[in-house]
Amino acid sequence: EAGVTQFPSHSVIEKGQTVTLRCDPISGHDNLYWYRRVMGKEIKFLLHFVKESKQDESGMPNNRFLAERTGGTYSTLKVQPAELEDSGVYFCASSPLLTEAFFGQGTRLTVV
């Protein structure tokens, strides 16, 4: 069974550009979570989907971040326009109802 897959693994963009990160959860997992780790800081929660609905987006830093999960399958996280402080590793996790979540390997985003 495939695990949680994230694309791309690395992305380097210039300040002001747009970047879209993608997460393919484990098949059948209704819950999908986005997290971010900024260098030197703890892993922070961004957003939680249950199927295609946003259950909790309290961790989204500002309106430059937009997450979608059309059809309740894969999810995208778009940053527009990117700022230097957006650099970090973005993790996606998925889980069935009421059990452990499995993480992808992350997307390392560098904004220069």
Partner 1 sequence: DAKTTQPPSMDCAEGRAANLPCNHSTISGNEYVYWYRQIHSQGPQYIIHGLKNNETNEMASLIITEDRKSSTLILPHATLRDTAVYYCIVRLGNTPLVFGKGTRLSVIA
Distance CA 44, CA 46 (A): 6
Site string for partner 1, 77-96 (x = CB under 8 A): ------------x-x-x-x-
Q: 94 with 102: CB under 8 angstroms?
A: yes
- Give the 3-state secondary structure of residue 85: helix
Beta carbon nearer to partner 1, 13 or 89 = 89
Structure tokens at 59: 């961790």
The DSSP call for residue 27 is T
Structure tokens at 21: 């990160």
- Give the 3-state secondary structure of residue 38: coil
Beta carbon nearer to partner 1, 7 or 103 = 103
Give the number of residues in contact with partner 1, rule: CB under 8 A.
Answer: 27
Site string for partner 1, 5-44 (x = CB under 8 A): --------------------------x-x-x------xxx
State the residues that interact with partner 1 by CB under 8 A.
4, 31, 33, 35, 42-45, 48, 50, 56, 59, 89, 91, 93, 95, 97-106, 108
